[in-house]
Amino acid sequence: MGAILAEVSLRLYRRPLGDPAPYRAAIQRLHATIEDVSVAAADGASLKAWFVQPEHPNGRSVVILHGVTDNRLGASGFSAMFLNKGYAVLLPDSRAHGLSGGSIATYGVLEREDVHRWAQWLRTRAPGCTYLLGESMGAAIGLQAEPVTPQLCAAAVESPYSTFRAISYERLGRGAHTGALFWRTLGRPIIEFAILYTQLRYGVQLPNANPEAAVMSAATPTLLIAGDKDVDIPMHHAQELERLCASHCALWIVPGAAHGEASLVAHAEFENRVIGWFESHDDAPAP
């Protein structure tokens, strides 16, 4: 059971990218340009992305990270609010997602360095501040990338989990209708074997997917966003993270928002808060 759980968690469904024509048409209406780009990960995996340049760039850029089993197209809806303000936008496919290489997803263990490489690449195209917006798994990856990505001036993350272990107990408890307590106690040997199996077979230690440790070791100004109706990653994860990084983090709880719905429930406020957060942490003046 532990081996099966490990394989199911690592080898995720790879959602097809879908038809990008509507998104490309929307970019054209904004008089922006879109480019297919790639970088090589530390392990040689080819990481793919879209780089979108606004008509009147301000020198700043935003990396937008999608959630689990999604891809860049699923996160592309956030583009317009940044392009309209002059920010360049990078939409990467996470490893083992979309068109990016990599055989397994590691929830931040390898992805944090992938984000670092994208941030380095962005500085060659947009010399001002680099920001990050992440959702769900992308939020957790973004937090874990902060200690290794000093180029980030600020980040905004929606529905992040606190640790891989904590969210594993809760997600398995919800999916199996057993509750998280079962997986913290009687079911824990299954999880521990899955972790050991992953380490022995793939050389990846999943407990190192730990946003809590990351926010304590980084000082990146971070806006934590959570919906009070989120049952996939309950808001207590964001609250726990905020307690650990209160010196450089802020927390926004969105009433009525389920998982990843903050921008739907409070669209105007979401845009104002995120862009306002970025603009208040601009350590690299735009050209």
For the stretch 212-255, pLDDT in tens is 999 999 999 999 999 999 999 999 999 999 999 999 999 999 99
**What is the pLDDT of the chain when averaged over all its residues?**
96
pLDDT of residue 287: 37
Q: Which CATH number fits domain 2-278: 3.30.70.260, 3.40.50.720, 3.40.50.1370, 3.40.50.1820?
A: 3.40.50.1820
pLDDT band at 285 (very low <50, low <70, confident <90, very high): very low
Question: Which positions ≥6 away from 84 have C-beta within 8 Å?
Answer: 30, 54
pTM over 0.85: yes
pLDDT of residue 271: 97
Contact indicator for 51, 118 with CB cutoff of 8 Å: no
Give the C-alpha separation, 215 to 280, whole Å: 19
Is the sign of the CA dihedral 61, 111, 221, 136 positive or negative?
Answer: positive
* Residue 56 CB neighbours (<10 A): 11
**pLDDT tens digits for range 56-102:** 999 999 999 999 999 999 999 999 999 999 999 999 999 999 999 99
Judged against a pLDDT cut of 80, whether residue 23 lies above it is answered with: yes
Instruction: For the chain, give the percent of residues with pLDDT over 70.
Output: 99
Give the C-alpha separation, 42 to 114, whole Å: 8
Give the C-alpha separation, 164 to 224, whole Å: 17
Give the C-alpha separation, 231 to 170, whole Å: 9
